[in-house]
Every structure is written in structure tokens, then in C-alpha cells.
Amino acid sequence: MAVGFHITAAILMLAFAIVYASDPSPLQDFCVAIGDADANVFVNGKICKDPKVVKPEDFFFQGLNKPGSLSNPLGSNVTQVNVNQIPGLNTLGISLARIDFAPYGLNPPHTHPRATEILVVLEGTLLVGFVTSNPAMNMKNRLFTKVLNPGDVFVFPQGLIHFQFNNGKTNAVAFAGLSSQNPGVITIANAVFGSDPPISPAVLTKAFQVDNNVIKYLQSQFWWDNNYP
């Protein structure tokens, strides 16, 4: 009987720990982010504006109908609409992005550490995919990939490496919803080969099992960022 009680208590403690580990639910109608460090309410990484001075503009963004510049070598542009563009998104756990692609443009392999992404294609054709986290021993990371046409929807689970590639001869446009007001983005190549200060070549040659000159060449490249506010 005592053993059963302790097992039940342990399960309940684990469940409560899992719930506590998630983002806190808002405790008010909204918390409009403000850059005033003297304000006295701090929620989800932002200072809250006094509700009495909140305006409709705090929940507003315009211009998402306009395509982003595709003049970079990647041939893609991500226009973010998160808490940094709409302060009223703070604590609400949602954001948006528009992704434009030139023919054969790429939104390179990246992750969102704080959000799941759901993507819908409006124009063109995209080859998309994500890779699972490290599997059991003697198994490989699994790739889930799909070719998307206008109206198709695909989900990228939180934290997993994913990509979108325009494999067509015309421009493509997609919109993405993300389950965080500040999802973050880590572009794999940029982070590994373009960090400041750089990661030691000794580390990377061992990790990638390539010659030191290959690592030095990759670190000498300019790694483009296609994410714009």
C-alpha cells in the first residue's frame, strides 16, 4: 500500500514538473512590451506597458503583403512578425512570418528553439523537410520531406532542424505561424561556421571528420542571414 502511494506521488510530482516547465499562461488580458526598464511589471522577458496607455497600434503591423528582397545569395527572405514588431504579442505565445523565395531560393536548415512552425504555401512549389533528433544507437536521424503546392500545409516540430527550398522556376511565397511570440532562429551553417569568436577548427574537424583546410575555408565564408524584422 505504501509503495503504491509513493509511486502515485512520484507520478504526480513528475506531471506537475512537466507542466511547470512550459511557458506560463498570461495572468492578465495582455502585456504590451515596452523598453522602459523603470516599469514595474516584467513578464516573459519584456516590461509591460501600463494598460491605460496601450494603443491599437500596439497590436498592429502593416506591409506583409509586400515581398521581401531576394537579392541575397540564398534567394530567400523571411519577414518576421513577432513581439519585436507587434509589442502586444508579448505573453500570447504566437507569431507569424512571410517567406519569399526566388527560383531555387533556399531557407537554409535552421531550428526554432522555442516554437513549433506551421507553414502554408500561397504561390509556387516548395520542397520542405525536417530531421528528427538523435535516435538510438546504430540508427540515423530520420528525414521527413514533402513537396508542397499552393494551399498545402506542413508542420515543423519545435526545435527540430528544418528547411524550405523553392524547386520551381518561378517565385514562391509561404506564410508560417509559430507557437511563440519570440520563437528564435538558429541557422545551422551560420551558427557552426560563422560564430564570433569562431569555434576552434580542432573541434569542427573532429566533429565533421574532414581536413582542417575544409573547416578554415568554410569559416572564411560570409554566412548570410535571410531573417529580417
* Number of Cβ atoms within 10 Å of the Cβ of 30: 18
Q: Is the peptide bond before 197 cis (omega within 30 degrees of 0)?
A: yes
Per the CB < 8 A criterion, the answer to whether 114 and 184 are in contact is yes
- DSSP state for residue 149 in the 8-state scheme: -
DSSP character for 140?
Answer: P
| Alpha carbons 89 and 112: distance in angstroms, whole number | 17
Distance, CA of 65 to CA of 2 (rounded, Å): 63
Cell of 69: 528582397
Short-list 78, 134, 139, CA closest to 108: 78
Q: How far apart are CA 31 and CA 44, in angstroms?
A: 9
CB-side neighbour CA atoms (13 Å) of 41: 15
Say whether 227 counts as a known binding-site residue. Answer: no
**74 Cβ contact partners less than 8 Å away, ≥ 6 residues apart:** 105, 106, 107, 108, 224, 226
Report the alpha-carbon distance of residue 160 to residue 177 in Å, rounded: 16
Question: Is residue 123 annotated as involved in ligand binding?
Answer: no
Query: Would the annotation count 112 as a binding residue?
Result: yes
Residue 107, annotated as binding a ligand: yes
d(CA 18, CA 219): 39
Residues of each annotated binding site for Mn(2+) = 110, 112, 117, 162
Query: Residues annotated as binding site for oxalate?
Result: 107, 112, 117
Question: Binding site: residue ranges?
Answer: 107, 110, 112, 117, 162
